[in-house]
Amino acid sequence: MKYRSSRGGVSGLGFRDAVMMGLATDGGLLIPHDIPDVRDKLVSWSSHSFQELAISIMAEYIDDIPVEDLTLLVTDSYARFNHEKVTPLVPLGDFHLLELFHGPTLAFKDIALQFLGNVFEYILDDQKGYLNILGATSGDTGSAAIESVRGKSNINIFILFPEGRTSPVQEAQMTTVLDANVFNIGVDGSFDDCQSLIKTIFSDLPFKQEYQLGAVNSVNWARVLAQIVYYFFAWYELGRPETFDVSVPTGNFGDIFAGYLAKRMGLPIRKLILATNRNDILARFFHTGVYQRGEVYISESPAMDIQVSSNFERYLYYALDGSCEKVSEFMAGFLDEGVARLDFNTSGFDESFLAGSADDEETLKTIRNIYEEENYLVDPHAAVGISVGNRLRTPDVPLLCLSTAHPAKFEGAINKAIPGLTPSHESLEALAGLPMRKEKMGADVAQVKAFIGQHGLR
């Protein structure tokens, strides 16, 4: 399997090179040359554990890591998860919830980042090299990325987050990690500002090469690959229905794009239901064909407080029939004008998707209703997915909703939804009173680059 850029300037990369490059050198995102059709393998995979399924699916996309080494990487990546099934399925009324928060930082990002951290280490050990990881987070990515590489001697990590716009627990999960190779940067701005800083720095190719910068955000292909696995696993856990709908709370489009690839690989997903909060650039696009940047609103589901979705370009490549020229034109127009358009036909642009949004009031109401009716507590992001999913689903089609984080990470939202209820988790309680370390700076490229220059490996 080889990888190419969505903008056409890079092609023929192996998996290892794609992982280490992160963002393509032409500014595009790396994608596989082909999407494998695995329909003839679905029956033979039916008895696989999560780990065995991960090895089988990843092997479809990786041919430059021996299977025995890949097996060790996958086994090690999920050894710290606190559920034997890794991503267990929970029935709630007339739908099912897939719990993706059983990793070390209680968020779905662990599923991909534990794997990516181990792959980085594996490749660097083989090459006798080093890496400076640069990432941006709206909440959960940062702590999951840090947890995946903390203490590794050949990797330093720099995480940018919007100062004051993550939950206190999310910030504590990052800033209480005092390992010498971990650097947290609180940026005076929004998550989109943090993402813009990252993309600008990566576009400085001499700087990227000098410091061996690597991407840990969902622009890294390995993140998407690891997320494909739990769509297949959930289908098996559901009893292999003829078809099913999946509702995905999303801001950066990475999680739902993994589901889109799973569908193209042959998994019988009927509809991917894209669920956003008030920051609804993606929902608006799938209704109108207009991709337009707007104001970033602070919500009760902060990981989705995003107006520029970093994985959307990967989808564009397929939506535009693999035309790198059209992708480049679309993205250049969006960068210049803050808006770009695709022509929709009367039935919508892509029948694979349904899209909707839920505001804070609806989100909190869903948290409250699920708790009262099912005695089960969901976090605000899962609540967005449940709300939109139930609104757009087809009644006689099984509905799967993704639960992306443990509710204890969002105590404020839970208290608003259910006054007097304080969710807890022992790993989060252990953070209380621990010393913290972070740097604060403006949304200034020169400042961030100077900090990397001072503390990065060379």
Of 155, 60, 169, 52, nearest to 113 (Cα)?
155
Which whole-number Å values give the CA distances from 65 to 15, 68, 69, in the listed order? 8, 8, 6
The percent of residues above 70 in pLDDT, for the chain, comes to 99
Q: Which fold has domain 89-106+222-424?
A: Rossmann fold (3.40.50)
Exposure of 368 by Cβ count < 10 A (0-12 exposed, 13-18 middle, 19+ buried)? middle
Q: How far apart are CA 231 and CA 236, in angstroms?
A: 9
For position 344, what pLDDT does the model report? 66
Which whole-number Å values give the CA distances from 276 to 109, 248, 307, 359, in the listed order? 18, 9, 11, 9
Whether 416 is catalytic is no
Exposure of 184 by Cβ count < 10 A (0-12 exposed, 13-18 middle, 19+ buried)? buried
Q: Residue 54: which pLDDT band, with cuts at 50, 70 and 90?
A: very high
Of 221, 9, 234, 271, nearest to 119 (Cα)?
221
Which residues is 90 bridged to in the sheet? 97
The CA radius of gyration of the chain, in Å to the nearest whole number, is 20
Say whether pLDDT at 401 is over 80. yes
Extents of the domains making up the chain: 89-106+222-424
SS3 for 164-208, per residue?
Answer: CCCCHHHHHHHHCCCCCCEEEEEEECCHHHHHHHHHHHHHCHHHH
Say whether pLDDT at 346 is over 50. no
Tell me if 367 sits within 8 A of 383, measured CB to CB.
yes
pLDDT (average), residues 388-416: 95
For position 455, what pLDDT does the model report? 96
Which whole-number Å values give the CA distances from 354 to 41, 256, 264, 274, in the listed order? 28, 11, 16, 6
Q: Residue 378: which pLDDT band, with cuts at 50, 70 and 90?
A: very high
Q: How far apart are CA 414 and CA 425, in angstroms?
A: 14
Say whether pLDDT at 140 is over 90. no
Say which of 109, 152, 271, 409 is annotated catalytic.
109
Q: Within 13 A of 83's CA, how many CA atoms are on the CB side?
A: 15
Say whether pLDDT at 348 is over 70. no
List all residues 6 or more positions away from 431 whose beta carbon is below 8 Å from its beta carbon.
169, 172, 173, 176
Say whether pLDDT at 308 is over 90. no
Which whole-number Å values give the CA distances from 346 to 273, 288, 289, in the listed order? 19, 10, 11
Tell me if 152 sits within 8 A of 121, measured CB to CB.
yes
Tell me if 237 sits within 8 A of 267, measured CB to CB.
no
Q: How far apart are CA 162 and CA 299, in angstroms?
A: 14
